[in-house]
A and B are shown apart, each in its own frame.
Chain A
């Protein structure tokens, strides 16, 4: 209160101090006159005796009075603003520089925040967990439908448990994410619909499925134009008529990172799976399990409860339960941390570079103001006081910088979304799901925090440097020699150049990779080859339909897509006693090599008979042949798979341990186009194996063929098409991801370069 009064009656306090000092000097003068001095001499002696300059005393008293803080702040702010008015270009350059550096970081943080930090739309998202079990040997455990039923009833460690099963569907010829959910799903999340209702337990219980469908807000907007009368409208999903019963609120994307456009009841599973009765008690339940933690339970307690529950079913090899938080779209795990740290460092480097730049400018300015600072120092201004003033200046610059940085970050985000949308290979545009990227309170705190740190960084060093001045020299009017900031400034410039070079090198690496990928010969035909992922509803009908189409030149199938896939590996050896080498393998139908234009350089490909009977024969790539039989012709040799005591494992283990090599295929990309190891094994599989994906070489324009095949398949077996892509798209999207990284680093490097150049310019211009 007293301080406040002093603040408002500052002038009075100031006046009192003036009076006091005047009185003092006057009394001293009188004393001197009484001692016999002339009045003039007496006044001079009084002033001399007083010692320090009376103005400095006032300054000091003001500080000791410590009403200080607010008043000094006002004072410093006014002083700083006056300074900015005098040199607006300086202020604008600083604000622009920091805004650029901070803007990038805020943009990156906004994206990180939306994906990793922002809780999903649900009541108390932090008690939601996904879970599963792992066998002692690391395989994950799959429950049966009846076990799942028991689990839901028992809900060990959880107050509610729900199962969901994401599938990809097509709505009006475009891909959409559909989540099949049980009746407890929305109740577990405890979220209500924006329009209509969510799915209820009653939907799940109707045998043979329920036609109720719930739309996401964006699906409602994009596919129904946000129509108010959407409820009750028909929605054909996989050839079955559904009815829209609800629309979820904006921003609700479902559970985990699987985005949902449509939610339907899990009781409809039969429409999406080929097995005749996927919900019979003994059927596998390959669902994603999630639940809300029992109040008061810790993660460990819940995991223990889940482990105890599964012991009833698997008493001899008890699997261990693992939990994963579903509070945010992507959980912040150690792995995530490991991936994000280098990215964060790169972004921070740009910000630091901006800081260095501004610090440099501040130093240059401080040098220009040496005279002023020198005079104030020699007049007795406290160093701390001056530093505080310079820091106030920095903070005043940081606040508008943060505001501009926010605008910049929004522009960056808009621009990068636009860049993504325009450059992503068209076939993947449908699948690119973008989380809502609106800024929130986290972003605000990040910006404020970063701006404050930045202000300290660019303000403190120059403030310390500039005030480290030799008062004695300054008093003599020598304002320059005591002040040598050039070492600090050199260090700053060197750091900047290093950062800039580093970023540009990174971008060059990514560009090189993108270019190398583009130039890499995958060793297989890709521009007119389609990859068709079909629901195995009826393979014979699907094959008949496909083979009837005039667009199809050759049709083949394989256990895995030709590119962009993780292939399984197996230990193989040329002689039973020789060392085994891990080689990737795939199953290929007899037409595989011809469809992809992979020549058989020696021997032959599979015959139709070998395909159907899955005979004990194998085709090797040239690299595999060289690896297994370095000095001999491999054709006709016997290949041994895995040492005798090692079981053949995997999703689709080979049926034989010894196979006859019947042919050598020219090397082609194995799994990934940039995989340098091109050794692989091909085992025969029949064209109609329901686990295979189709690979078709087509006549004419591939996009036209896609539309024609899509239409034909929709007619003969509605809803069977999961995915159709030109093989080349997979090559392109691989290149694109490197290009994207190149652009990001190029932009970062460009900004850093700009900063460095302007920093050096400022350094040069200051006449250092």
Chain B
């Protein structure tokens, strides 16, 4: 199942809530938690990461990967945390609204 447009940012932010991760780990985590329902288009992951970094919601810092090499780990910034809260709230409102419509119809 492909990701809904615009939801990738939200998922990335949510994934990073538990701690810094590098790019591949982010896509893996999304896949795992969604029990392989959601496939992250990895080609759009990196642009998204850089976009979020540019907006100041996440911050890249270097760390050591599982392969023992230097890698970029992304960490949620305080403003990213706030962004996550708003987006989560928006998302819940949206899904609730859609759910109500679907249930009624």
Complex Cα distance A61/B54, Å? Answer: 11
For residue B71, CB closer than 8 A to chain A, the reply is yes
> Which residue of chain A has the shortest Cβ distance to B53 in the bound complex?
A65
For residue B29, CB closer than 8 A to chain A, the reply is no
List B38-70 residues whose CB lies under 8 Å from chain A. 41-44, 46-47, 50-51, 54, 65-67, 69-70
> Which residue of chain B has the shortest Cβ distance to A50 in the bound complex?
B42
Complex Cα distance A50/B24, Å? Answer: 10
Chain A nearest Cβ from B58, distance in angstroms = 13
Interface positions of B (Cβ within 8 A of A)? 22-25, 27-28, 41-44, 46-47, 50-51, 54, 65-67, 69-72
Question: Which residues on the B side are within 8 Å of A57 (C-beta)?
Answer: 43, 46-47
For residue A28, CB closer than 8 A to chain B, the reply is yes
**Per-residue B-contact encoding for A56-73, CB less than 8 Å = 1, 0 else:** 110011001110000000
Complex Cα distance A169/B23, Å? Answer: 90
**Per-residue B-contact encoding for A20-51, CB less than 8 Å = 1, 0 else:** 11011011100100000000000000000111
Contact status of A24 and B42, CB under 8 A, knowing A19-B70, A60-B47, A61-B47: yes
> Which residue of chain B has the shortest Cβ distance to A67 in the bound complex?
B54
Complex Cα distance A17/B23, Å? Answer: 11
Q: List 28 A-B contacts (CB under 8 A).
A: A19-B69, A19-B70, A20-B23, A20-B46, A20-B71, A23-B24, A23-B65, A23-B67, A23-B69, A24-B24, A24-B27, A24-B42, A26-B67, A27-B24, A27-B65, A28-B42, A31-B28, A49-B42, A51-B42, A51-B43, A52-B43, A52-B44, A54-B43, A57-B43, A57-B46, A64-B54, A65-B54, A66-B54
Question: Which residues on the A side are within 8 Å of B72 (C-beta)?
Answer: 16, 19-20
Complex Cα distance A26/B66, Å? Answer: 11
Complex Cα distance A64/B27, Å? Answer: 19
List A484-534 residues whose CB lies under 8 Å from chain B. none
Describe B's contact surface by its main secondary structure.
helix
The 10 residue pairs across chains A and B that have the minimum distance between CB atoms: A52-B43, A51-B43, A27-B24, A24-B24, A50-B42, A64-B51, A60-B47, A64-B47, A51-B41, A61-B50
Question: Which residues on the B side are within 8 Å of A53 (C-beta)?
Answer: 43
| B46–A17 touching, CB < 8 Å | yes
Complex Cα distance A49/B70, Å? Answer: 23
Question: Which residues on the B side are within 8 Å of A28 (C-beta)?
Answer: 24, 42
> Which residue of chain A has the shortest Cβ distance to B27 in the bound complex?
A24
Complex Cα distance A56/B28, Å? Answer: 22
Question: Which residues on the A side are within 8 Å of B22 (C-beta)?
Answer: 20, 23
Chain B nearest Cβ from A249, distance in angstroms = 58
Question: Which residues on the B side are within 8 Å of A61 (C-beta)?
Answer: 46-47, 50
Complex Cα distance A64/B71, Å? Answer: 20
Complex Cα distance A213/B73, Å? Answer: 86
Contact status of A23 and B23, CB under 8 A, knowing A61-B47, A64-B47, A64-B50: yes
Contact status of A24 and B51, CB under 8 A, knowing A51-B41, A51-B43: no
Complex Cα distance A27/B21, Å? Answer: 13
Question: Which residues on the B side are within 8 Å of A19 (C-beta)?
Answer: 69-72
List A693-727 residues whose CB lies under 8 Å from chain B. none
**Per-residue B-contact encoding for A545-562, CB less than 8 Å = 1, 0 else:** 000000000000000000
Question: Which residues on the A side are within 8 Å of B66 (C-beta)?
Answer: 27
Chain A nearest Cβ from B39, distance in angstroms = 8
Chain B nearest Cβ from A53, distance in angstroms = 8
Complex Cα distance A19/B46, Å? Answer: 12
Question: Which residues on the B side are within 8 Å of A66 (C-beta)?
Answer: 54
Complex Cα distance A27/B68, Å? Answer: 12
Complex Cα distance A60/B71, Å? Answer: 20
Question: Which residues on the A side are within 8 Å of B71 (C-beta)?
Answer: 19-20, 23
Complex Cα distance A60/B47, Å? Answer: 6
Question: Which residues on the A side are within 8 Å of B25 (C-beta)?
Answer: 27
Chain A nearest Cβ from B92, distance in angstroms = 28
Complex Cα distance A19/B71, Å? Answer: 7
| B67–A21 touching, CB < 8 Å | no
> Which residue of chain A has the shortest Cβ distance to B26 in the bound complex?
A24
> Which residue among B25, B50, B51 has the maximum number of chain A CB atoms within 10 Å of its CB?
B50
Complex Cα distance A16/B71, Å? Answer: 8
Complex Cα distance A36/B23, Å? Answer: 23
> Which residue among B23, B43, B69 has the maximum number of chain A CB atoms within 10 Å of its CB?
B43
> Which residue of chain B has the shortest Cβ distance to A52 in the bound complex?
B43
Chain A nearest Cβ from B2, distance in angstroms = 11
Complex Cα distance A65/B51, Å? Answer: 6
Given A19-B71, A52-B44, 14 additional A-B pairs, CB 8 A: A19-B69, A20-B23, A23-B22, A23-B69, A23-B71, A24-B24, A24-B42, A28-B42, A49-B42, A51-B41, A51-B42, A52-B43, A53-B43, A54-B43
> Which residue among B23, B41, B42, B69 has the maximum number of chain A CB atoms within 10 Å of its CB?
B42
> Which residue of chain A has the shortest Cβ distance to B41 in the bound complex?
A51
> Which residue among A16, A31, A52, A64 has the maximum number of chain B CB atoms within 10 Å of its CB?
A64
Question: Which residues on the A side are within 8 Å of B47 (C-beta)?
Answer: 57, 60-61, 64
> Which residue of chain A has the shortest Cβ distance to B48 in the bound complex?
A64
| A21–B46 touching, CB < 8 Å | yes
Complex Cα distance A736/B42, Å? Answer: 76
**Per-residue B-contact encoding for A613-642, CB less than 8 Å = 1, 0 else:** 000000000000000000000000000000
Complex Cα distance A19/B24, Å? Answer: 12
Question: Which residues on the A side are within 8 Å of B50 (C-beta)?
Answer: 61, 64-65
Question: Which residues on the B side are within 8 Å of A31 (C-beta)?
Answer: 28
Complex Cα distance A65/B48, Å? Answer: 10
Chain B nearest Cβ from A67, distance in angstroms = 9
Complex Cα distance A27/B27, Å? Answer: 11
Complex Cα distance A66/B50, Å? Answer: 10
Complex Cα distance A180/B36, Å? Answer: 98
Complex Cα distance A24/B42, Å? Answer: 9
List A59-108 residues whose CB lies under 8 Å from chain B. 60-61, 64-66
Complex Cα distance A49/B39, Å? Answer: 9
Question: Which residues on the B side are within 8 Å of A64 (C-beta)?
Answer: 47, 50-51, 54
List A5-22 residues whose CB lies under 8 Å from chain B. 16-17, 19-21
> Which residue of chain A has the shortest Cβ distance to B62 in the bound complex?
A16
> Which residue of chain A has the shortest Cβ distance to B42 in the bound complex?
A50
Chain A nearest Cβ from B57, distance in angstroms = 13
Question: Which residues on the A side are within 8 Å of B43 (C-beta)?
Answer: 50-54, 56-57
Complex Cα distance A418/B34, Å? Answer: 84
| B54–A51 touching, CB < 8 Å | no
Chain B nearest Cβ from A658, distance in angstroms = 96
Question: Which residues on the B side are within 8 Å of A16 (C-beta)?
Answer: 72
> Which residue of chain A has the shortest Cβ distance to B43 in the bound complex?
A52
Chain B nearest Cβ from A363, distance in angstroms = 32
Contact status of A27 and B54, CB under 8 A, knowing A21-B46, A51-B44, A52-B43: no
Complex Cα distance A60/B42, Å? Answer: 13
Complex Cα distance A60/B49, Å? Answer: 12
Question: Which residues on the A side are within 8 Å of B27 (C-beta)?
Answer: 24
Complex Cα distance A406/B25, Å? Answer: 60
Chain B nearest Cβ from A12, distance in angstroms = 12
Question: Which residues on the B side are within 8 Å of A21 (C-beta)?
Answer: 46
Chain A nearest Cβ from B32, distance in angstroms = 11
Question: Which residues on the B side are within 8 Å of A54 (C-beta)?
Answer: 43
Complex Cα distance A51/B46, Å? Answer: 12
Question: Which residues on the A side are within 8 Å of B69 (C-beta)?
Answer: 19, 23
Complex Cα distance A49/B72, Å? Answer: 21
Question: Which residues on the B side are within 8 Å of A27 (C-beta)?
Answer: 24-25, 28, 65-67
Question: Which residues on the A side are within 8 Å of B42 (C-beta)?
Answer: 24, 28, 49-51
Chain B nearest Cβ from A194, distance in angstroms = 61
> Which residue of chain B has the shortest Cβ distance to A24 in the bound complex?
B24
